[in-house]
Amino acid sequence: MLRLIGLLLLIPLLDAILLVVFGWYFNWVLVVLVVVLSALIGLLLARAEGRHTLRKIQRRAAKGEPPTNELIDGALLLVAGAFLLTPGLITDAIGLLFVIPVTRYPFRVLLKKYVLVPYADEKTGGFVTGNVYIGGFPGNGEGGQSGPSVGGGPDGADPDNGNGFDDAQDVDFEEVDDRDR
């Protein structure tokens, strides 16, 4: 966590040093113009890509499919907007890399592979990528399951299936008519 904070603090420092160096070799007006124009063009691109991504999310949701890649793209576009609003050449370059779809794709793949899937596996005990119950009833030998076996008794029955929930119980009830009172 401290390394991430250090990296985030290092980026503006390098940006300031780069602006001073460019200001020394080039005209200050030109450097400020490049920073402002790159931020403006990047924000316009981020806005257009954000609208496009929102339409893709709506289409996937209307089909009943989970819009995972589109949501990650939306998050990367939000980060790109923050980088583009921060004055500097390095932050603008990073923001533009997140805005352009061709360069955003590798970031999305890396984010899914090294951040999202390990985090989801940790929180769900592997449910996301491996231990998913496929079908059939636990303990009767039909269907398949790729997770740990369920049912601990000799016939496969267990009052607590290992999932923390008791089996369903039949309940007797009596119908009461409120009009007779």
Q: Domain boundaries in the chain? A: 34-124
Spatial distance between the Cα atoms of 63 and 112, rounded to a whole number of angstroms: 23
pLDDT in tens, 47-104: 999 999 999 999 999 999 989 899 999 999 999 999 998 888 899 999 999 999 999 9
Residues ≥6 apart with Cβ < 8 Å to 140: 156
Amino acid residing at 34: V
DSSP state, residue 140: S
pLDDT in tens, 111-156: 988 888 888 888 887 776 665 545 555 555 554 444 444 444 444 4
First-last CA distance in the chain: 67
Spatial distance between the Cα atoms of 93 and 55, rounded to a whole number of angstroms: 26
Q: Which of 10-19, 37-46, 67-76, 167-176 has the lowest mean pLDDT?
A: 167-176
For residue 96, the SS3 value is: helix
User: Which pLDDT score, from 0 to 100, does residue 167 have?
Assistant: 54
Spatial distance between the Cα atoms of 147 and 121, rounded to a whole number of angstroms: 13
Specify the higher pLDDT residue, 154 or 16.
Answer: 16
